[in-house]
Each structure stands twice: as C-alpha cells, then as structure tokens.
Homo-oligomer: A and B are copies of this chain.
Amino acid sequence: VTRQAVFDHIAAHRDEHVARLQEFVRQPAVSATGEGMAEAVEQVADYLRQLGCAEVEIVPTDGHPSVFAYYDAGAPKTIVNYGMYDVNAVDPTEWERPPFSGDLVATAEFPSVLYGRGAFFAKGPYRAWLNALQSIISVEGTLPVNIFFVVDGEEEIGSPHFHQVIERFAPRLKTADATLSLGVAQNRSGDLSIFLGNKGFLYFELEASGERWGYGPAGGSVHGSVQSIVDSPAWRLIHAVSTLTESDGRTVRVAGFLDHVRPRNPKDLALLQNIADRLAGVDMRTIIPNAAGPGRVQRFVDDLDGMALLERYLFTPTFNIDGLYGGYIGPGSPTFSLPDRVVCNMDIRLVPDQEPEEIAAKLRRHLDLHGYEDIECRVISSCTWAKTPSDADIVQASVRAYRRLGHEPFVWPLRGTGGPWYLFNRVLELPTLKDGGLGHGRGFHAPNEFLVIEGNDRVGGLVECEQSHVEVLYSYAAYPDDYE
C-alpha cells in the first residue's frame, strides 16, 4: 500500500479539496425550515456518484429524504458509513458574516478556517471524508474496504425518519463488518477523542392542564385573585414534578429507575481511568463536552473531579429540566394570572441497559401512583443507547492508526449525548465507532461556526484530517495485521 502516495495526493490537491468543502457549505440545507434541502440532497447524491459508487439512491422518507449508496471495492471487509447533509438553523443577525458564505478567513489562532453553518458540523468533515476516499481511489484505483453510505437529512431535528432508511436496507447493511463515521475530533489542546457508544435519551413534556384535570380553569387563564376557590394546574405540576427526585434534583424517586443500569465494566473503567490520569490537573470544565454553552459550569456536583467526575458523568443517567413555562412568562410588572396549563420540558439520558420505553412506563406509573393520572406525559423524541466493546476490530485498528500518526486517542466508553447510533449498533448489530479524525472546529449549534483548514502546533488542518482517515481505513482493512 502506497500510503505516502495517497498522503501526497491529498497534500497536492489541498486547494481543490478546500473548494469542495466551500461548495458544500454554501448550499443551505436547514432541515428545520426546509431551506435548500431539495438542492442539497441532489448535491450529496452527485458527490457519491462522482466517487464511483455504482449504486446511488435518494431514499424518500416521511420527512426529508436520505441518500443510500454502495461502493463495491471487491474487498473482504465492508463498512457502513453514516453521514448527514442537513445543518442547524441560523439567525443571521448573530453571525459576523453571512452564515452560508463559506469564506476562508484567518483568525488569531489559525492561519485559515472555513467559516459557515455546517463547516464544522457536519458538512465540512463529511466532504473531507469524501475527499480522502477520492484521493485513495485516484492513487490506488479503488478503496481498501467496501462502503455502504447512508446520509441522513434530518439529524438536526432528531432523525425522526432515519430508521425507515435503515430498516429498508437492513438485510444488506447487516452484512457489513462495522460502522465507521469519521469527522474532526481534536479539542483545542489537540487531544483526539473516539467514542465507543452514547447514552440514549427520552425527551418529554409533562403538562398539567385544567382541561384534563377537570379542576381549575380551562380554555385559558383566569384572574389570579380567584385562586382561593379555583384549583391551580401550576401548583399541581410543581408538586407532581417535585415527587420525581429528592430535593437534590438528582436522586431519582421513580421506582425501578436504576433497575437496568448495567454494572460498570472493568475495561470501561480502565479506559476512563486512563483519560482521568492524562487529564490530571486540567480543569475538567474545558474537557466535558457541553459543559460550556452560552453559560459556564461553576463547579461540578459534590465538587467531583477526575475519575469520580468522569464516572458520574458517563455512567449515571440524567434527569434534566430543560424548560418550564406557563402563565405570564416575563419579568416586570405584575400580571395576575391563574394559568390553565403549565408545561415542564424534561429529558432523561439513559445508560445501558435502560430503555426509553421502560423508563417512560415507569414514569407514567410513578405519576399515576402519586395521583397524577391527569398529568400528561408527551414523549417528543427518544433514542436508545449504543455501545461497542473496546476490543472490537474497528476500535483497535483505529487506535493503532492514530498511534501511528503520533496521537494517543482518548477512548471514551460512552458519550454523554445521543444520536441515532443504536440503529447501527443495536438494530444492525454492528460494532460502531463514532467520531475520530484529526482536525478541529468550533461553533457547534452556535453562530460563527468554523472548521480549521490550516492547523497550528496543536490541531490538524484539512490535509491532516483527510490523511488520518486514510490511515484508519488501511489500518482497519489490514487488521489484525499491520499494513506496510
């Protein structure tokens, strides 16, 4: 295998590769509004045809279509590759440049970045992955593995119909050996992370309404001055929700909530301990994904740090209040209102082996047992967990590849956030590796998103990103042998 020849090809075609990223990012594809979706799906299908997939199909779903494609390399191993072509919605007033400009700009930290919605998540990295494959094919004539491509058009709205695609192609997809989806996975210090799985989630709304209860107001609010003689759905919701946890807001009181939490696996604990050791002395608030948003975490619960913090983070389910609303929602002058309905948006993140249906049923039973039969629990979205063992070939081959490139990856046994990976891991029953890839980006679901095109002494740029994908692919194709 002429690995160096492929690497050189990528370096030599850098400008052309960058141009493909720009072109892809400049095509809006906002699944939440539909903007640009029809053009974007054709663009993705074209990309896969240009790569040399003999079979490329735009797959209708009950929502935005997906794309399915197959590249037959005549190789012994086959992977399923997940991609997405939609992007998060934008409010252009929050952006310094037009969100779909796809401009190349220099920043204080990086000589060149690609600016725009989707540059980092996930169009830029997806096009980089296709560029890497294109370079392999240009040099070698074909790929070292066969690839099933599935490209979701509704990731940003929770992938509500993507299962239809997986179900339709399941008999063929199940014949693959693993799922591999590469992106850019370095944090700002250069640490590279790969994830062996993710938590599931159950997102729901609890609503107390006079209408369902039969007491209190219905059809709208009444004046607050009658509260002495009119029952209050707001008080009802407060009291119902307060039964769900102890006053710490973390100890869940729903009977059987933890029944199916899988005992911690020594291999997982060792992986986590390794990460904790390497991060000793680092402020973990800079490490935990999503611990910074618009706001910042002041301190972790119980002032946890290190291994104890990581264990609590990944192996404990969450029970979060995402929002609360009802009645007069705004500051300032008094507005006397006895609202007829109030809502609490909540989500539970599930660890293996908790299932969304199981937890939803236990939650319903809890509410009923406490006399809250009238409180509606509307499941808005749910997704179960995924988990691949650390000794799976795809994991070991990837680790070996990154080491060869001089990077010792953080191998996270689980990830705190979810996605439709259970479709690959638990429906198709494939070892599933999520993320990986040198490179760095910022602005996930935020304004002024960018992908680093030319890296610095800590993180790789586009060339290093594409080269790392080549390394992983060849490493997996040869595994358990080393290649070269």
Tell me the A residues contacting B by CB distance below 8 Å: 32, 157-158, 199, 201, 203, 205, 210, 214-232, 234-239, 241-242, 245, 247-250, 288-301, 304, 309, 312-313, 316-340, 342-343, 345, 347, 349, 380-381, 416-418
A316 → chain B closest CB, angstroms? 4
A226→B158 contact, CB < 8 A: no
Q: A226-B416, A293-B217, A313-B226 are in contact. Are A328 and B323 (CB under 8 A)?
A: yes
Query: Chain B residues near A157 (CB, 8 Å)?
Result: 333
Q: A309-B229, A345-B335 are in contact. Are A301 and B223 (CB under 8 A)?
A: no
Could you say how many copies of this chain the assembly holds?
Answer: 2
B241→A318 contact, CB < 8 A: no
B417→A223 contact, CB < 8 A: yes
A299→B215 contact, CB < 8 A: yes
A249→B229 contact, CB < 8 A: no
CA distance A321 to B157 in the complex (A): 33
The answer, among B231, B292, B380, for a CB contact under 8 Å with A334, is B380
B322→A324 contact, CB < 8 A: no
A238→B321 contact, CB < 8 A: yes
The answer, among B229, B295, B418, for a CB contact under 8 Å with A313, is B229
B347→A230 contact, CB < 8 A: no
B320→A227 contact, CB < 8 A: yes
Shortest Cβ distance from A337 into B: residue: B322
CA distance A232 to B299 in the complex (A): 12
- Enumerate the 4 nearest inter-chain pairs by beta-carbon distance, A residue then B residue, closest first: A235-B249, A220-B294, A220-B295, A223-B290
CA distance A331 to B342 in the complex (A): 11
